[in-house]
Structure 1
């Protein structure tokens, strides 16, 4: 198996593991996801799906899939950064996020409410995990995925 496909599988497995970690924190630690947390879950799921599909495509298409995963990761960095900004500036939040209502009406939220239903507030501060908040960890992982997938998509062939 070529290096590109191994990288894609590795990123997909990591993204799925991060979704599992989010569900563990939700169900076992009582950390309810806010609307921006749910958006990040969708982005992690999209990265996993893109990378899984791309890993089984021919080399050129796999690199294109890595490029799409790279762009999706950049979107994740944006979503994570916005959530970090909201948490750093809680006075901008009115308490009830109008995004929550529309997100909870998305097909996947109705099909899998345990995974994709937003129940928490974006300004809720949970205890840090290994020194970082969940939002910070998400943003770090999106950055890692962007670097790895960008390198995979845009590296020169030898």
Structure 2
């Protein structure tokens, strides 16, 4: 029944995903600017992935043609997968912190001072900031909740894409 509600009107579902992404981004801004939590490099990558999911699903919800929303939904699914990967890696770092935690550089400092081929592995290696647990809700960290949201978005998007392929 839930699957039928999700897949019966893809444009509505895509618009709801975009709205949820915007709400999550707003919550992240609240945590940063009101609560004073500074995002680590992995958090910033997750934000960019969330922005990509929001933009892709928002654009997908605007198109009436099947090919339009399927293309944008596929891009959103890839972005959600990337976000889930980064969130899972950060969760793993939080559960298994490195022996020597160092704060390291911020994301922009890494990109400005190192070639992209060297900066990207540094981002995923994590730093002392990425292993810190500054906020929890129901026992989950920001990275844990981010992972759950990204996986949820990816599953709904995959359901839409699979159901859309069956309708052909």
Structures share a fold, TM > 0.5? yes
TM-score normalized by the length of structure 2: 0.77
> Which residue of structure 2 aligns with residue 62 of structure 1?
69
Q: Pick which of 79-88 and 56-65 moved more.
A: 56-65
CA-atom RMSD in angstroms:
2.1
Rg larger for: 2
Q: Is 1:86 aligned with 2:122? A: no
Flag structure 1 segments of 5+ consecutive residues without an equivalent.
106-119
Relative distance call for 1:128 and 1:152 in structure 2 (3 A) is same
Say if 2:87 is the partner of 1:77: no
User: TM-score by structure 1 length?
Assistant: 0.81
Q: Which residue of 2 aligns with 1:111?
A: none
> Which one scores higher on RCO, CA 8 angstroms, separation ≥ 6?
1
Q: Could you say what secondary structure the match of 2:136 adopts?
A: coil
- Distance (Å, rounded) in 2 between the aligned partners of 1:75 and 1:38: 13
Residues 138 and 102 (structure 1), Cα distance of their counterparts in 2 relative to 1, 3 Å cut: same
Unaligned runs of 5+ in 2: 1-7, 114-127
Mapped partners of 2:153, 2:100: distance in 1: 29
Correspondence for 2:43 among 31, 37, 44 = 37
In the alignment of these two chains, the number of paired residues is 143
Q: Distance in 2 between matches of 1:147 and 1:86?
A: 24
